[in-house]
Amino acid sequence: FNISSMHLAGCFTFALTWALAGACSSWERQALVAKLEAWCKERVPGWRLPEGHGLLGVYVNFGTGGVEAGETLRPWSEQLYGLPTPEQENIFEVPVPTVQGLSLQFLSTILLG
């Protein structure tokens, strides 16, 4: 099992962000995330976020391509495309995937799975 230091740093910042941000009010959360991003940029060599995304807008890419390419943190919005659409479902009963829903599903799967 080979894991890069960048992947480990991405996993750590993702876990720390969600652990702390879940215990804050929305205005405290924004300040906390801004401080965490600044701390990571300053102290973790080569650490970066996808262009235009903050820590709450990314997930950890566990695929080998992401680790090898140094793209550990990827935008949640990438997961919105290519999802199967249920056929012959009542339009009012079809779940609509959102970034918030995907992030909650991801965290639940990781924590409970």
User: What pLDDT digit, counting tens, does each position of 53-107 carry?
Assistant: 888 888 888 765 555 555 788 888 777 665 555 565 555 565 666 777 777 777 7
Residues 6+ apart with CB under 8 A from 81: none
58, 72 contact by CB (below 8 A): no
Q: How far apart are CA 23 and CA 13, in angstroms?
A: 16
Output DSSP code: residue 71: -
- pLDDT at res. 38: 92
Average pLDDT, the chain: 76
pTM of the predicted protein model? 0.61
- Tokens standing for residue 11: 């996993």
Overall average pLDDT of the 23-47 stretch: 85
Q: Which residues pair with 74 in a beta bridge?
A: 59
